[in-house]
Structure 1
Amino acid sequence: MKNELIKIGPITIYGYGLMIALGILAAYVLTEYRAKKLKLESEKISYLAIWGVGGGILGAKLLYYITEIKEIVANPKVLLNISDGFVVFGGIIGGILGGYLYCKRSNLKFLKYFDLIMPAVALAQGFGRIGCFLAGCCYGEETTSSIGVVFKQSNFAPNGVKLIPTQLISSGLDFLNFLVLLYIAKNKKVDGQVAGFYLVFYSAGRFVLEFFRGDLVRGTVGIMSTSQFISIFTFIMGMILVLVTGNRHLHEAAQ
């Protein structure tokens, strides 16, 4: 609701940036803790995080450029604004690719570390969506419902009208995803299951929530938003990963 949280002289602390920073810090601390607990190579977590975050930023920016290709062609100066314009799904895909490349480079078992990091990713997303709420981006459609929120100083959301708080709903789903993934991680039988369920849960939630989004800067593919279109494929990928790893466990248990 208010992006400028603290202002001391020329220094301004913005809610969006603060929540992103808290999310990344919480994700890192959690991942390193769980790596030590699981007797994995915790000293490599910082490098894995750098590759993952780097890939995530590049992926999020690239997908944003793809969704805004018409505007970029009309006004190439849009490319100079590197601080705004990121698409979460691009960040997820780019982050996974960055993590995969680091694991290959360092001879780490990708699925094991994929499982390790995805609950932390869901946790970071929960914080990030709170940041979206403070900034007013990723807002919902107009509503007369009692759950509606009114922005007064947002540079993104329309001010003075009731909007569905899709940011907070998304944040709640992310935190719930985090807790469920931790439970699955404690009871998993084979590597890859946690990551697979992350893709399934996040994709399903995002697909449904997109129907209630009010911001138009997301791109479209036919009648679907870009994120809904990608959600279909990531959901299928997640289901395949869950089923393939589950069948592998059953096959190994039968031997």
Structure 2
Amino acid sequence: MLLYAVFSLTGLYAAVFISKKLELAPREKNLPAVIAALAGGVLGSQVPLWVSSGFGARGKSYLGALLGGFLAINLYKFFSGRGKESFGDNFAVGLALGAGFGKIGCFFNGCCGGASWGLSGLEQYPTQLIESAFNFAMAYVLYKMLRRGSGKNILFPFYTLNYLIMRFFIEFLRTEPVVLAGLTAYQLLALFFIPVFYLIIRSRKNVPSYAGA
């Protein structure tokens, strides 16, 4: 539990620190979007757990928080008339870096683990460490894209698209409850949102000023 707290706090600090360092717009201008993202993330972090295990389920889902924050920011932009602005580039690197540390915490806490394997059945796939390595790698890729100017307005959807693809396949190594057609709630979310983020990236490639999270 101590190591879980240490790595979770390290991830939070790393996410905030790097996001501030790479901030591409005035902080005051981004504050309402940040508040919307946090509110959506808190609510979204519960939804996959509720779908998988009922409303009494405890814990938080990073994927749910990611998608909840995305939806909340876009609702905020729609109602505030800021639909042509993009906020995601400010936070993508920090999100990936923070998630990398957070998943190490999950490994030491024994949560979010994989299914058993091996003759003894005691070994588990280290899915937390796989996710951690993925997120650290994505943080590096996103940072390079940002510095080279090749990821303008697409860093967040690019990260989320790749995370969804990774998460769909890694679910086969986990022990999450199956909810429909042999798939988990996370896989169903991935199948729904992968085309969404792919289309967002394509639209922003064609129209650089396109707005979205």
TM-score where L is the length of structure 2? 0.83
Partners in 2 of 1:219 and 1:60 — Cα distance?
18
Q: Is the 8 A contact 1:190 1:246 kept in 2?
A: no
Partners in 1 of 2:147 and 2:74 — Cα distance?
23
Q: Is the 8 A contact 1:119 1:178 kept in 2?
A: yes
Partners in 1 of 2:94 and 2:166 — Cα distance?
17
**Between the two proteins, what is the percent identity of the paired residues?**
27
5+ residue gaps, structure 1, are: 6-14, 73-77, 151-159, 250-255
Task: Provide, for residues 160-195 of structure 1, a one-character-per-residue CA deviation record: whole Å limited to 9, x for no partner.
Answer: 911111100110001111111112222345743212
Partners in 1 of 2:193 and 2:94 — Cα distance?
18
Counterpart code for 2:127:
T
Residue 112 of structure 2: which of 129, 138, 148 is its match? 138
Residue 128 of structure 1: which of 102, 117, 130 is its match? 102
Q: Is the 8 A contact 1:198 1:238 kept in 2?
A: no
Determine whether 1:177 maps to 2:138: yes
**Residue 197 of structure 1 corresponds to which residue in structure 2?**
158
Compared with structure 1, are the counterparts of its residues 64 and 182 closer, same or farther at alpha carbon in structure 2 (3 Å cutoff)? Answer: same
**Residue 154 of structure 1 corresponds to which residue in structure 2?**
none
Cα shift at 1:55: 1.9
User: Residue 45 of structure 2: SS of its match in structure 1?
Assistant: helix
**Residue 56 of structure 1 corresponds to which residue in structure 2?**
41
Compared with structure 1, are the counterparts of its residues 131 and 49 closer, same or farther at alpha carbon in structure 2 (3 Å cutoff)? Answer: farther
Partners in 2 of 1:246 and 1:63 — Cα distance?
31
Residue 164 of structure 1: which of 114, 122, 125 is its match? 125
Partners in 2 of 1:29 and 1:46 — Cα distance?
15
Aligned residues: 208
Partners in 2 of 1:24 and 1:49 — Cα distance?
14
Partners in 2 of 1:207 and 1:229 — Cα distance?
8
Partners in 1 of 2:150 and 2:85 — Cα distance?
13
Compared with structure 1, are the counterparts of its residues 197 and 121 closer, same or farther at alpha carbon in structure 2 (3 Å cutoff)? Answer: same
User: Residue 138 of structure 1: SS of its match in structure 2?
Assistant: coil
**Residue 41 of structure 1 corresponds to which residue in structure 2?**
26
Partners in 1 of 2:81 and 2:19 — Cα distance?
19
Cα shift at 1:109: 6.5
Cα shift at 1:140: 1.0
**Structure with bigger RCO (C-alpha 8 Å, 6+ apart):** 2
5+ residue gaps, structure 2, are: 209-213
**Residue 66 of structure 2 corresponds to which residue in structure 1?**
92
Bigger radius of gyration, 1 or 2? 1
